[in-house]
Each structure stands twice: as C-alpha cells, then as structure tokens.
Structure 1
Amino acid sequence: MGLSLTLSAQRRDEIVTALRGHVGSLTTKVVEAMETRHHWVRRLGAEDRSWITIVARAGIDNFMAWFADAERAADPGTLFNAAPRALTRKISLHQTVDLVRTTVNVVAEQVGELVPPEDQPPLELAITHFSREVAFATAEVYARAAELRGGWDERMEALIVDAIVRAEADDMVVSRASALGWNTFGPVCVIAGPRPDDTDLDALRGAAGARDLAVLASEQGGRIIVILGGGQLSDLEASVQAALDLEQFFGPGTIVVGPLVKGLPQAAESAQSALSAARVAHAWPEAPRVVASFELLPERVLAGHPAARRKLVDDVYRPLAGAGGELLATTIGFLDNGCAVEPTARALFVHANTVRYRLRKVAELTTMNPLDPRQAYALHLAITLGRLVVTDSGEAQR
C-alpha cells in the first residue's frame, strides 16, 4: 500500500497540478545543484550528463504520480529505465546516492515556495518516504548490474585465458582483455598451479592488483592459470617472487612460472611452457613450492615434449658446441667425473682453477650452472640430445 497521507485526494491533485507547472524549473535547479555540489559531474561527457538530467526529470515525474495516488505502491525503480545500464559503469553507487540526496534536498527546498505552509509537512514527509524507496531501488539496480557484469566478465576472462593457452591470442583477445582492465604493456608471465578446494579468484585478483600487477585468471582442468603483467616483472626472479606472493591462492603442489615474454600477444609461449612443466611436476617431488618452467626441462623432455627438447638443444647444447671444444669438453669431463673439479682437472691436464673458470663461462653461456646438481642433470641431458640431433641431421660434430 502507498503512504497514508493526511491530505485529501482533491488537495493532492491540486498540489500535483501546481507542481507540474514547475517541473522544468525544478529539473533545471536539480541539475545545477548537482554540477555545483559534485565536481565529478562536470567531468562527465555531454551524453552522460544528459542521461542524468533525464533520470532527474523521471524521478520528479515518478514522485508526483505516486503522490497523487495514496493507494499506489511506490515504484521508483522504474525511473532508472530511462538511462542505459552502461551508466552504472560511469557513475558509482556512492555517487548515485549523492545525486539522489541532492535531488531530494533541492526538491524539498523548492516545494516550500510552491505550496502553502499548511501543505508543506505532509509533502515533506512524502518526499522523505519516496527518497528512501529510491535509495533501495538504486542499490538494487547496482547490485543487479554488478551481478550481470561479474558473470559476463568472468566468462570473458575465461575465454581470453583459454585463447592464450591455445595460442590464439590475436588483436581481438588483447582488446577484450583491455575491456576487463588489462592496462599494462610491460612484460608478461603465465603461472600454472593446482586448484584449491575453495577457489577464490576474486581474492587472487585483488592481491595481484594490490601489487600493481595486471592479472587475468581462470580455472582449467584442475589448475588455476594466472596471467600476470607489469613493469616490476623485470626478470625471472621477480616473476617467481610474484608467484610466491600469490601462492596462498593455489592448492597443494608445485606452482610453475613460465618465462617472461614481451607482452600479452606473446603470452602463449609462456603459457605452453608453464603448462607442459606443470603436467610433469609430480616427477620432481623435491621441487620448490614455486619453480620456473625451465627447471623442469629434463622431465618435460622425458615426457616427450618437443618444445622442451628443442630448447635444451638450441639454448644449451648448440651454444656450448659453438663456443669451441674447450667448454664442451670441460663440461663433459666434469659430468663424467662425478661433478668434481680436481678429478676433471687431472683428466684434462689443466689446473683446477682453469676448470672452475670454464665452468663459470658455461653457466654464463647456457644459464645452467654445472656446480648445481639439478642443472648439471639438465646439462647432461642437453648434451645427449644434442649429439643425437647432430647424428640424425648429419651436422658436423665439433
């Protein structure tokens, strides 16, 4: 039921008739007050300001129609039908409440000059009641818009991540990511980790955003795939640290960080590396909680991943072979002598410091440190694969 009013139906009709002649001036004063009291209104585009004017006018008309009929239930939510739902992206809920409050105050001030003193108390009571209903309607509109936008954004984000995983990141994918808030042109890496029982991607996004990182996240096949971007991802160490900062949002198991790439269009390379490593991470149960994908190259090669095989041959064996026989021979001798410097020096008839110097050069050249047991294992596998490739292709051996 509508608000019980003390005025008779005839008197209400007379008041509404009198007020209708001033709707235009009331609307103008309301809009002027909005622009004066809220500086952000002046920064809106002409089209958005025109929609605000239409909503203000609709609100005044809606109030008068309700006030004229005491038995009519207030339905101020219909006044938002005048504006497009896109307006909720431009104006926050807090800002909308400010506009509603301004509208109510201005209307209350003006009607005091338009009706006799004895009619002002019930009219002010009606305005207060109606403004309360408008506030509830406003909250409902924004809640519904947030729910629809949240569901749509989540589906869009999943499609973008899926396109990157499948190496289909074209200009359209980048454009859609920008629409979701991806606003960085800095380096990008992809993180793949186990999905927890209580997945909370919103919390993950919030934690990444608090670190000034652009983020896209989705669940895929029991894993969480996270695409991170930002200028602070300066090197692999920074990427691993970013993953460590977010590890609480993953389930138990190994979290794999793909290599840094130039930008989102190249993220497929990082995604494929991270995912191929994540699939074989169980073969290295001693791995750290967060590990770079290149550290799982041996497992990836043994699992039959061609990209991992090519990377070991091209990035490790070929640079060694191309640097001259000394580095390759020293590496082989070091591996064959149990990764011990002194026996290697005796076998090669050189000083132990010469062996150490050459091993440092190997680490600089290949990013694989022979003194690290895990990386020495990868070096050994790279040399074996390289020899196979040389034999199969008929390349000249050094």
Structure 2
Amino acid sequence: MVAESDPAEYLRGYAGLLAEVCATGRRLTRAELDERRALGERAAEAGLSLRGLVRLHLAETRVSWPGRTAPDAVEGVLAAVEQAVDAFAEGYERAQRLAVRQEEGARREFIDDLLYGRSDLGRLAERAERFGLVLSRAHAVAVAAGPEAYEDTSPVTRRVETAVNARFGDRRVLLATKNGQLICIAPGDQEEVLTYFAKQAHAVTDGNRVAIGRPQPGAGGVVHSYEEALGTLELADRLDLDEPLVRAADLLVYPVLTRDRQAMADLVLSALGPLRGARGGAEPLLRTLEVYFDTGCVAAEAARRLSLSVRALTYRLERIHQLTGSNPADPPHRYSLQTAVIGARLLGWPAQEI
C-alpha cells in the first residue's frame, strides 16, 4: 500500500485518464477535475512542493503516454494533461490560501489576546512559542504611530518587518499592527532591536513618533509595556515634544506629576492663572516660559527659538514676574513655575478649563 505522504499517491488515476482520453477523444469530466483538485488540496496540506508535483505529472505523462497515438488524438491528450495539471494546481493553491488565512487569523487572535491581557496565561504562553516569543522572559514593546492607519499587509508594515527580520532574524521578535499602529515586541534585554525598529518605522512613515515601554516580566508584562508605550505616545503629544523616539523610562516624572490631578490643577491656576490677564492671553507667555526652561534658562537661546530679540524676551519675563509675582530667573521661584508649566501642558490649559 502506498503511504499517504508518498508524492506518487497524488497522481492516482492520472495515467488511466490519459489512456481513456486517447482512446475516446473526450475531455475530462467535472467529477474527474474535482478529484484532481482534491488531490492538490491534500498535497498542499501534506506540505509537498507544487513544483515537484508538477514535474511528477510531466514525468508520468512521458512514461504513460499511450502507444501509437494517432496524430489527431495527440491534441486531445495534451489538452487533458493541461486540464488535469491546472485543476491539481488550483486545488493546491486554494488549500494554501486557506492555510494562510487561518494562520493570519490565529496570529491576529494571539496578538489581541496578548496585548489586551485576555486568555489563560498558561495557554497564552504555549501559543506564544508558535510565534517566536518566550513569555517567561521579560519583554518590552515599541509602538509607532504614523500619519495613517497601518494593517499587517500594508506596504509600510512589510518594509519595516523585512528590515527588522533581515537584521535580527535569529532573535525572538514579533512585529504586528494594532489599532492602526505598528507594534514591535522584543526581549527586554535587546534594546537595540526596538531602537532599530524605531529608526525604520520613523524612516518609512513620514516622520512618525515611536514610544518604547519599559521591559516587564511575563505575559502580563507585555500588556504593561504596551500600555506604557501608548501612554508615552499620548504624553509626548500633549507635551509637544520634538523627539521622534521617546522612552517611558525617561518620562516617568510626568505621570507622577499628574497622579493627583486636582492638586496639579490648583498649582497651574495659582501660579499661571494671572497670565490670562496679559494682552493676547496666557498662551504666548506660557510658551515663553516653556522655551526658556527648555533652554536651561539661557535667554539668548530662548530668544532665538522664539524668533525674538533678547530685549523682547526679557520684557516678557518681566511681564510674567509682574503678573504672577514669581521671577522665572530666581531659583526659588523657578521650580514652581516650571512644574506649573509642565502641568499646564499635561492638562491642556489654557485651551481647556481645568
């Protein structure tokens, strides 16, 4: 008996078809073509090569070619060969497409469960092995947000994935998309992978921003790092940071500052509320303070960034002192003012009432 995995099994009945077609001149029936398609599907499911199977069909055609074939029957036999091989290939490709869709579906379901913290953790760890992750290790997650939503099949996604796999193909790295953003999950001790992902994502998404969460252990750690990266992206937008790559570890002070929202709101209104009485409102003076503090209180550099003369900048700082009673150049006042400026950006003040 021929084993199911023997390639010759998938040519079953083929030689007999050729002999009958040569004798009768008929074309293959629908049932016969369906049988060829079914054999092609089984061959694909067995993992056999389509190229090798087509070569076997051609070899069998040569060996089984009916003897003394009349010239007018040759065309019919060749047409039957074409029909049979085409039906076989169609079944093979159909099975492959189904397998790809099933694999993509399983991968998407795994990504959803992993990043949302769903499913039994033990079962999740077992499934993770299939996609190259060992959840007993610590992992960190990088999230890239671009000007458009990205899917797994998007050209941008493929380009980033190809670049990362070409460089780190032997690492346990998983790239995917979630809610239109590019996601990279890597072992927590391989910062170079996430940094390279960020560089590639920034290059191909027209200057997007990438955030990297801190390494966290276990399956739940992946969720924590992912949520931290998302929060860092949002925080960077609210602070209007210029950096294309932001790390959660570098911005930990900001969530601490806003943990007591009411206390921060009180500080903002107390320290900066009087700026609303200035001509043009609070925003120009708030921006002046922000840039002044960002430059380390170097007036010349702050003036350059604001496209002001140093004299004009000095006037603004004096006006802030008059309105608030706090001198930005005075160290005892500077800390409260700077903290209030950060709080204003985090809370969206003065555009939003707090």
Q: Normalising by structure 1, what TM-score?
A: 0.52
Residues 34-83 of structure 1: CA deviation (Å, up to 9, x unaligned):
xxxxxxxxxxxx6422xx34321143455456556544356535323146
Q: Which has the higher contact order (CA 8 A, sep 6+)?
A: 2
Does residue 226 (structure 1) correspond to residue 179 (structure 2)? The answer is: no
Determine if contact 1:161/1:225 at 8 Å carries over to the other structure.
no
Residues 120-170 of structure 1: CA deviation (Å, up to 9, x unaligned):
656654443333334433443344334333333333322222212222362
Q: Distance in 2 between matches of 1:305 and 1:251?
A: 36
The amino acid across from 2:56 in the alignment is T
The amino acid across from 2:79 in the alignment is H
User: What are the residue-to-residue correspondences of 1:222-371 with 2, within 5 Å?
Assistant: 223-229=180-186, 234-248=189-203, 250=205, 252-261=207-216, 266-302=221-257, 304=259
Aligned-pair CA distance for 1:217: 0.9
Q: Distance in 1 between matches of 2:203 and 2:95?
A: 30
Residues 175-222 of structure 1: CA deviation (Å, up to 9, x unaligned):
33444x4366776332212255373534143333323153241232xx
In structure 2, relative to structure 1, the CA distance for the partners of 1:142 and 1:209 (3 Å cut) is farther
Does residue 160 (structure 1) correspond to residue 110 (structure 2)? The answer is: yes
Find the partner of 1:215 among 174, 179, 182: 174
Q: Distance in 2 between matches of 1:84 and 1:67?
A: 27
The amino acid across from 1:97 in the alignment is R
**Secondary structure, aligned partner of 1:201:** coil
Aligned-pair CA distance for 1:281: 2.4
- Unaligned 5+ runs, structure 2: 262-295, 298-334, 340-354
Determine if contact 2:210/2:245 at 8 Å carries over to the other structure.
yes
Q: Distance in 1 between matches of 2:192 and 2:58?
A: 56
The amino acid across from 1:207 in the alignment is A
**Secondary structure, aligned partner of 2:243:** coil
In structure 2, relative to structure 1, the CA distance for the partners of 1:286 and 1:89 (3 Å cut) is farther
In structure 2, relative to structure 1, the CA distance for the partners of 1:54 and 1:253 (3 Å cut) is same
Q: Distance in 1 between matches of 2:111 and 2:148?
A: 21
In structure 2, the residue matched to 1:79 is: 36
Does residue 91 (structure 1) correspond to residue 47 (structure 2)? The answer is: yes
Aligned-pair CA distance for 1:237: 4.5
Find the partner of 1:190 among 132, 141, 164: 141
Aligned-pair CA distance for 1:302: 4.4
Between the two proteins, what is the percent identity of the paired residues?
17
Does residue 108 (structure 1) correspond to residue 62 (structure 2)? The answer is: yes
Q: Distance in 1 between matches of 2:231 and 2:108?
A: 19
Aligned-pair CA distance for 1:292: 1.8
In structure 2, relative to structure 1, the CA distance for the partners of 1:136 and 1:84 (3 Å cut) is closer
Aligned-pair CA distance for 1:261: 4.3
- Unaligned 5+ runs, structure 1: 1-23, 29-45, 307-337, 340-376, 382-398
Q: Distance in 2 between matches of 1:303 and 1:142?
A: 58
The amino acid across from 2:251 in the alignment is L
**Secondary structure, aligned partner of 1:300:** helix
Q: Distance in 2 between matches of 1:178 and 1:134?
A: 40
In structure 1, the residue matched to 2:82 is: 132
Residues 360-388 of structure 1: CA deviation (Å, up to 9, x unaligned):
xxxxxxxxxxxxxxxxx9xx98xxxxxxx
Q: Distance in 1 between matches of 2:166 and 2:207?
A: 24
Q: Distance in 1 between matches of 2:40 and 2:89?
A: 15
What do you get for the CA RMSD once the two structures are aligned?
A: 4.0
Determine if contact 1:193/1:253 at 8 Å carries over to the other structure.
yes
Determine if contact 2:202/2:209 at 8 Å carries over to the other structure.
no
Q: Distance in 1 between matches of 2:162 and 2:53?
A: 29
Q: Normalising by structure 2, what TM-score?
A: 0.57
Aligned-pair CA distance for 1:273: 1.7
In structure 2, relative to structure 1, the CA distance for the partners of 1:280 and 1:154 (3 Å cut) is farther
The amino acid across from 1:166 in the alignment is Y
Aligned-pair CA distance for 1:266: 3.9
Q: Distance in 2 between matches of 1:174 and 1:58?
A: 46
Q: Distance in 2 between matches of 1:178 and 1:61?
A: 46
The amino acid across from 2:186 in the alignment is G
Determine if contact 2:142/2:229 at 8 Å carries over to the other structure.
yes
